[in-house]
Amino acid sequence: MKITIEWNYKPAKSSHTIRFVSDSLSLKEAIRTALDIERTGRLGTIMFIDENGTYWSKKELQKLAAEKETVPMNVVCYFDGGYKKDDGKSGQGAVIYYEQNEKRYRYRVNASLEQIDSNNESEYAALWLLVNELEQLGVHHSTVTIKGDSMVVIHQMTDEWPCYEQELQRWMDKIEAKLKKLGLTPIFELIPRNENKEADFLATQALSNISIEAKKEMID
């Protein structure tokens, strides 16, 4: 999470204030800098803005910083969707790697959603599954790396390709709304299929009616 500080400085022996804007700072740097500015005794108003354009008070940022000591951080995730055209069955898989309380974890989950009409739609459903699992894990107001091998989903979510299909657009809208609600900044990365084996296997298991939901601590 990156924060920009905007504040008004009151020079000595002047009735005018000077407006300053900081560079992009980490959450802790923003709080530390604000406290330093306050110590000058010449602070007028101060505002904190994150990379999504959301405004925060200093008290809200301090509360968020305390929460982030225990919430999942450094999140890297994978998604994949599968679809059987002959019977219209779909499967979705998601894998989430994260750090929490100075430990590393892997969380795996799959699903078999109904009323899916194509492989591309199943890929979007897998991304939707992933984003909802991030919410359940308590991931919020941070940057997350999301990897997948679907060129359609990755390029459309990054606005590199237009989306003309209304059904896919509805999935995009839901996913983007959820990401915004959680305050997440996604970094989408297109990867080869052989680097997405975990999520692919989970989707395949879902197609075979095998349900998976597992959390594991990663030990070096």
Strand partners, 100: 103
Tens digits of per-residue pLDDT, 3-36?
899 888 887 777 778 888 888 888 888 888 888 8
The whole-number pLDDT of residue 47 equals 87
Task: Using pLDDT thresholds of 50, 70 and 90, give the confidence band for residue 137.
Answer: very high
Query: Mean pLDDT in the chain?
Result: 91
The whole-number pLDDT of residue 71 equals 83
The whole-number pLDDT of residue 209 equals 93
> Average pLDDT in the 190-210 region?
96
> Average pLDDT in the 99-114 region?
92
- Cα distance between residue 3 and residue 29, in whole Å: 9
- Cα distance between residue 162 and residue 8, in whole Å: 42
pTM of the model: 0.77
Question: Is pLDDT of 146 > 90?
Answer: yes
Do the bridges between strand 143-148 and strand 185-190 make them parallel or antiparallel, or are there none, so unpaired? parallel
- Per-residue CA distances from 205 to 20, 53, 114, 157, 170 (Å): 55, 40, 15, 26, 26
The whole-number pLDDT of residue 154 equals 98
Domains annotated on the chain, with CATH: 2-67 (no CATH), 73-217 (3.30.420.10)
44's CB contacts (< 8 A; 6+ apart) are 7, 8, 9, 10, 17
| Helical H segments across 80-165, by residue range | 119-137, 151-157
- Per-residue CA distances from 112 to 78, 131, 173, 180, 209 (Å): 17, 16, 21, 25, 8
Question: Is pLDDT of 171 > 90?
Answer: yes
Q: Which residues of 166-190 are buried (b: 16+ CB within 10 A; e: fewer)?
A: eebeebbeebeeebeebbbbbebee
3-class SS of residue 162:
coil
The whole-number pLDDT of residue 176 equals 97
- Cα distance between residue 71 and residue 138, in whole Å: 6
pLDDT above 90: percentage of residues in the chain: 60
The whole-number pLDDT of residue 111 equals 96
Dihedral of CA atoms 29, 30, 32, 36 in degrees, nearest 10, equals: 130
> Average pLDDT in the 88-95 region?
94
Task: Using pLDDT thresholds of 50, 70 and 90, give the confidence band for residue 46.
Answer: confident
The whole-number pLDDT of residue 127 equals 98
The whole-number pLDDT of residue 78 equals 98
Question: Is pLDDT of 216 > 90?
Answer: yes
